[in-house]
């Protein structure tokens, strides 16, 4: 999950980053901001899953900042004072951590974020995804052991079969799921994802170049420079799909 820290005190930001290192398998810090205006810009730029937000900041406090957002991510307030706790929960904050932050309470807050994501996307999957193919605009939430992974299918560059598992390769991350490549092929929209051969499914939108290959096959180069062969049989289908 992607996290953003917004706090006007540099030492407070550094301390929180230090504490979050213990949870690097669950959460990634994508940015930080020192005031409300910069915080709004950072949220729009990074689209975080959760924001650790200080309340008392110059010019614009944390509550005022949230009012200026069209879409509000999950918020965990951090404050040196307990007097704002009630108001924090009135704006649907996920948690309220008083400084200095207790590592145990921080872990509980992170677990809440993960649980909220699981509930949110499990619900949407059940109600809207059962009877249709998934496109690049669909969100995905994957648990890989103790790790949790959230992204959109548009960020998946390719999938690789590894026995009873499939490894999912994204722009900045990869994870493993217990699923067959055939099962995933049946769930994915064929105009976005193409079965290149027995081992790989590729995201068509990440293809940078195509070359002729041995025995009538093709070789594609993806946006991360990964080279994958399209078998001769699948090359015929690929050309039918992609040719005007």
Domain ranges within the chain, ordered by starting residue: 2-121, 139-242
CATH code of the region 139-242: 2.40.50.1020
User: Within 10 Å of residue 52's Cβ, how many Cβ atoms?
Assistant: 28
CATH code of the region 2-121: 3.40.50.2300
Condensed to tens digits (0 to 9), the pLDDT of residues 3-32 reads 999 999 999 999 999 999 999 888 899 999
pLDDT given for residue 140 in this prediction: 80
pLDDT given for residue 244 in this prediction: 57
Condensed to tens digits (0 to 9), the pLDDT of residues 209-235 reads 999 988 888 999 999 999 999 999 899
- Of the chain, the end-to-end C-alpha distance in Å amounts to 40
Q: Is the pLDDT of residue 122 over 70?
A: no
Q: Is the pLDDT of residue 118 over 80?
A: no
Nearest Cα neighbor of 205 from 162, 171, 163, 161 is 171
């Amino acid at each position: 999950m992607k996290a953003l820290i917004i706090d006007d005190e540099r030492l407070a930001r550094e301390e929180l980053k230090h504490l979050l290192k213990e949870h690097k398998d669950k959460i990634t810090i994508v940015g930080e901001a020192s005031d409300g205006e910069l915080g709004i810009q950072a949220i729009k730029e990074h689209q975080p899953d959760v924001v650790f937000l200080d309340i008392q900041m110059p010019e614009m406090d944390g509550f005022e900042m949230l009012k200026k957002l069209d879409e509000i991510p999950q918020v965990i307030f951090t404050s040196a004072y307990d007097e704002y706790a009630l108001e924090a929960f009135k704006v649907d904050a996920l948690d309220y951590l008083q400084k200095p932050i207790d590592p145990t309470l921080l872990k509980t807050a992170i677990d809440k974020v993960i649980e909220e994501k699981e509930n949110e996307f499990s619900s949407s999957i059940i109600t809207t995804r059962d009877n249709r193919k998934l496109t690049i605009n669909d969100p995905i939430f994957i648990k890989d052991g103790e790790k949790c992974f959230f992204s959109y299918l548009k960020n998946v560059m390719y999938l690789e079969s590894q026995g009873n598992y499939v490894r999912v390769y994204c722009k900045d991350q990869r994870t493993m799921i217990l699923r067959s490549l055939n099962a995933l092929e049946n769930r994915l929209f064929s105009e976005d994802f193409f079965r290149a051969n027995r081992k790989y499914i590729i995201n068509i939108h990440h293809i940078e170049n195509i070359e002729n290959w041995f025995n009538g096959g093709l070789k594609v180069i993806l946006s991360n420079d990964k080279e994958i062969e399209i078998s001769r049989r699948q090359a015929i289908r690929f050309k039918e799909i992609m040719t005007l």
